Structure 1
Amino acid sequence: MEGVAVLVMEMQRGVVGDLTKFPDLVAACERHDVVANTARLLHAARAAGIPVIHCTAAFRPDRAGSHTANCPFIVSLLKDPEHMLEGTAAVEVLPELRDPADLESRRHHGFSPFTGTSLDMTLRSLGISSVVAAGVSLNLGIPGLTLEAVNLGYRVTVVTDAVAGIPEEYAQAVLKNTIALLAARATAADLIEAWT
């Protein structure tokens, strides 16, 4: 399907996998089958010829390229000098979501995948005008992705059962009161049906 790509936000082992430091976020993903729904979505996307791009985050051990003192959340994360280090297993995409044909866009600062990365150029080089967003979290990453994509001129669809955030009530409020103003919303099943 021309003009569409799936962006998968931070579905990494150190965020929502076996090496996480965010057990509440993992629990939210489990309650909503986020990993399984994302896996089904990606399988259908690949079968339809839709590019999959994993938007990942990492830090260098020396923190070069990362603003480390301008955000309370980052300051708290980096009290652990081993957190999400480049080249470690923690920054790997969950194995059940990876495919050799997928692309990856890595960032070393901030909370959204466009600023300071080649993601926009990658999408434009592929002829993409619409993006489908899945992953975490509804607290920061998904709203950041959505807002930046809209500002850059992309049409956005957020996959409501392939995203999560905490606490639950807040995540649902973000979907209803923020995402709904910026993007279309669909379930994984809706999109799979449209692509097959």
Structure 2
Amino acid sequence: MTNTALLAMDLQNAMVGRVEDDAYLPRVVRAVDAARKAGVPVLHVVVGFREGHPDKHPRNKAFGALPDGAFTPGDPNAAIHPDLDPRPGEPVITKKRVSAFAGSDLDLVLRSRGIDHLVLAGIATSGVVLSTLRQAADLDFQITVLADGCADADPEVHRVLTEKVFPRQADVVTVDAWTRTLTEA
């Protein structure tokens, strides 16, 4: 599975703190641990801006109204949740918009490593997961979505995306099903 990578997306303190499912974070940690054990690269994707926010636009509904200092290097809410701290050699990709590809060097890092299969987990299903899946599909990546490794504030939106929309462009599986494939390989 050396051509596969797990993208752990927007698992920052601010986002993880909003997830109501207490079992969510332990599931994602299980997926990350299983990937590491199987030698599948883990890439951490975070949203981040420069001090003073020169890289956000006021017309952007998602990010334009962020308060000063939000998601900058000194913001503790922008840090990756400590249960998922990157290990040495695990890239942290900083994106500037919703998709993991937007304003980042993700595509360069993936192609430099020969990765052509992405496994997606993150917050929110209707945000980073949807946007990254769509762009990855357009870039001809093979995609797997860990349905219960994704979370959204709206459970119905999560359900519709994972059951009806994502299967058009990705394999959609549970964390347990995916981790079993790693031990069988």
TM-score, normalized by the shorter chain, greater than 0.5: yes
Distance 1:187 1:115 in 2: 26
C-alpha deviation, 1:83, in angstroms: 2.0
* Matches for 1:39-58 after TM superposition, within 5 Å: 39-58=29-48
Distance 2:62 2:102 in 1: 18
Distance 2:135 2:74 in 1: 27
* Matches for 1:15-164 after TM superposition, within 5 Å: 15-17=15-17, 23=18, 26-27=19-20, 29-30=21-22, 33-66=23-56, 68-76=57-65, 78=66, 80-101=67-88, 102-107=90-95, 109-164=96-151
Distance 1:99 1:60 in 2: 21
Shifted more, 130-139 versus 165-174: the winner is 165-174
Contact 2:69 2:75 in 1 (8 A): no
What are the ranges of 5 or more consecutive residues in structure 2 without an aligned counterpart?
Answer: none
Contact 1:5 1:130 in 2 (8 A): yes
1:195 and 2:182 aligned: yes
What are the ranges of 5 or more consecutive residues in structure 1 without an aligned counterpart?
Answer: 18-22
TM-score by length of 1: 0.87
Q: CA RMSD in A?
A: 1.4
Distance 2:163 2:60 in 1: 26
Moved over 4 A (4+): none
C-alpha deviation, 1:6, in angstroms: 0.2
Distance 1:87 1:122 in 2: 25
TM-score by length of 2: 0.92
